[in-house]
């Protein structure tokens, strides 16, 4: 670390490991990053999600100093990296451990040599770095694999080596770049569980870049939705699931939230009939009691036709598809609003569901 460089004045004011302010990066006519401001708080897992072309890779390259923004500041532990020369960037880069979609292991080196590589670069003596590699292999569940070569490992095991290597130099931030995108669902779950475990046990701050909502739902505390280089939404994950605000978020969520079954959706008409179908989204404590509470206003009952309660982190998130008499719709809408639910009227059906 360059000891001549004073920490910026903002460093002492919050607990951010990373702080971006109005970061812009343009390629010709394309604004890859168009005024991005965000903080990654110490100890949190922040998910950054966006479709292809949203600006995720550009953000990563700006964070690890491979790309310079056209404007704005990027502070890592209080130091603005946007104005540093290559020499001063090196020690700051080491504060960011990275894991990649395709693992990026050296095939000619053993597992322990791969893990110890960042320490070799830092000049640690061999015995010390191999002892540290052994410790890290225990942390990631690969005890006994020290002398194996990457080609003898499964994808999940390779990613565990990648995680151990990323942790070797005790980074302030672990940056995960689509780290589970090449893995099958079961292996993905085990790698995400490992990241969650490391976050809790070591207090490690994790920035997770992904295009998969399942990934942020599994482990992130908070999520930032990026679209065309801009942040279109930012909230705790459970809130994003219960009350998505932007069309981009709703579309990213469409594969992972309950949807009205196709055979019922196919019967919907916009012409008013006797029965209306609604979707009610409600998050937090109100979700658990929603059906009971709204049922009080409807002594003849409401029909739950699909959906239910999910748990995201420690929060219940309810998404209920209900059918009710059309004449009761305005009472339903008023009651649901009082109970904190967001309701979408999906349409009518000719015959009761």
Cβ-count burial 184-198 (b if 16+ within 10 Å, e if not): eeebbbebbebbeeb
According to CB under 6 A, which one of 57, 73, 181, 259 is a site residue for ligand ATP? Answer: 57
According to CB under 6 A, which one of 54, 96, 192, 225 is a site residue for ligand ATP? Answer: 54
Q: What is the closest distance, in whole angstroms, from the C-beta atom of residue 89 to ligand ATP in the complex?
A: 19
Under rule CB under 6 A, residue 69 binds ligand ATP = no
| Nearest residue to 59 (alpha-carbon basis) of 297, 227, 244, 204 | 227
Tell me the site size for ligand ATP, rule CB under 6 A. 12
What single string gives the DSSP state of each residue in 63-80?
A: HTTSS--SEEEEEETTEE
| Nearest residue to 95 (alpha-carbon basis) of 115, 65, 73 | 65
Residue 258 near residue 279, CB atoms below 8 Å: no
Estimate the share of the chain in helix, then strand, then coil, as percent rounded to the nearest 5: 35, 30, 35
Under rule CB under 6 A, residue 50 binds ligand ATP = yes
Give me 336's structure tokens.
């649901």
Q: What is the closest distance, in whole angstroms, from the C-beta atom of residue 27 to ligand ATP in the complex?
A: 3
Q: Which stretch binds ligand ATP (CB under 6 A): 53-61, 91-99, 267-275, 340-348?
A: 53-61
Give me 351's structure tokens.
């015959």
CA atoms within 13 A on the CB side of 90: 7
Angle of CA points 337, 339, 343, to nearest 5°: 45
Site for ligand ATP in 20-49 (CB under 6 A): 27, 30, 32
Q: Which stretch binds ligand ATP (CB under 6 A): 56-64, 232-240, 288-296, 332-340?
A: 56-64
Output 103 or 332, the one with its CB closest to ligand ATP. 103
Under rule CB under 6 A, residue 294 binds ligand ATP = no
Residue 108 near residue 124, CB atoms below 8 Å: no
Output 181 or 326, the one with its CB closest to ligand ATP. 181
Q: What is the closest distance, in whole angstroms, from the C-beta atom of residue 107 to ligand ATP in the complex?
A: 24
Q: Which stretch binds ligand ATP (CB under 6 A): 14-22, 54-62, 84-92, 315-323?
A: 54-62
- For tokens 């239910």, name the residue: 308
Output 67 or 77, the one with its CB closest to ligand ATP. 67
Output 55 or 150, the one with its CB closest to ligand ATP. 55
Output 15 or 30, the one with its CB closest to ligand ATP. 30
Q: What is the closest distance, in whole angstroms, from the C-beta atom of residue 46 to ligand ATP in the complex?
A: 16
Q: In what order do the strands lie in the sheet with 16-27?
A: 30-41, 16-27, 71-76, 79-80
Under rule CB under 6 A, residue 171 binds ligand ATP = no
Under rule CB under 6 A, residue 317 binds ligand ATP = no
Rounded distance, CA 104 to CA 64, Å? 16
Q: What is the closest distance, in whole angstroms, from the C-beta atom of residue 213 to ligand ATP in the complex?
A: 14
Site for ligand ATP in 179-238 (CB under 6 A): 211
Output 246 or 328, the one with its CB closest to ligand ATP. 246
249-255's contacts with Cβ under 8 Å and 24+ in sequence apart are: 249/225, 252/49, 252/51, 252/211, 252/213, 252/225, 253/213, 255/213
Output 54 or 213, the one with its CB closest to ligand ATP. 54
Under rule CB under 6 A, residue 102 binds ligand ATP = no
- DSSP SS3 for 35: strand
Under rule CB under 6 A, residue 53 binds ligand ATP = yes
Residues of this chain that bind ligand ATP (CB under 6 A): 27, 30, 32, 50, 52-58, 211
């Amino acid at each position: 670390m360059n000891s001549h460089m004073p920490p910026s004045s903002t460093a002492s004011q919050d607990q951010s490991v990373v702080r971006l302010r109005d970061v812009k990066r343009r390629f010709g006519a394309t604004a890859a990053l168009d005024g991005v401001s965000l903080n990654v708080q110490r100890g949190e897992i922040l998910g950054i999600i966006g479709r292809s072309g949203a600006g995720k890779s550009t953000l990563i390259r700006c964070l690890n100093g491979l790309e310079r923004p056209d404007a704005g500041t990027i502070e890592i532990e209080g130091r603005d990296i946007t104005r540093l020369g290559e020499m001063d960037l090196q020690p700051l880069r080491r504060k960011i451990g990275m894991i990649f979609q395709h693992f990026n292991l050296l095939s000619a080196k053993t597992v322990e040599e791969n893990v110890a590589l960042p320490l070799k670069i830092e000049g640690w003596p061999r015995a010390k770095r191999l002892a540290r590699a052994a410790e890290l292999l225990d942390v990631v569940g690969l005890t006994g694999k020290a002398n194996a070569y990457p080609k003898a490992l499964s994808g999940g095991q390779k990613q565990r080596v990648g995680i151990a290597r990323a942790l070797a130099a005790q980074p302030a931030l672990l940056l995960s770049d689509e780290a589970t995108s090449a893995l099958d669902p079961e292996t993905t779950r085990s790698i995400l569980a490992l990241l969650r475990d490391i976050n809790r046990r070591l207090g490690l701050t994790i920035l997770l870049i992904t295009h998969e909502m399942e990934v942020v739902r599994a482990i992130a505390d908070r999520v930032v939705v990026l679209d065309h280089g801009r942040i279109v939404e930012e909230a705790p994950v459970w809130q994003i699931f219960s009350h998505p605000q932007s069309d981009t978020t709703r579309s990213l969520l469409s594969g992972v939230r309950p949807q009205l079954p196709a055979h019922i959706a196919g019967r919907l008409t916009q012409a008013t009939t006797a029965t209306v179908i609604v979707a009610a989204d409600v998050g937090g404590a109100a979700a658990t009691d929603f059906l009971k509470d709204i049922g009080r206003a409807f002594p003849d009952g409401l029909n739950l036709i699909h959906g239910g309660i999910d748990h995201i982190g420690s929060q219940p998130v309810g998404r209920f598809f209900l059918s009710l008499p059309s004449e009761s719709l305005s009472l339903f809408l008023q009651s649901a609003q009082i109970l904190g639910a967001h309701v979408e009227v999906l349409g009518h059906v000719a015959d009761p569901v």
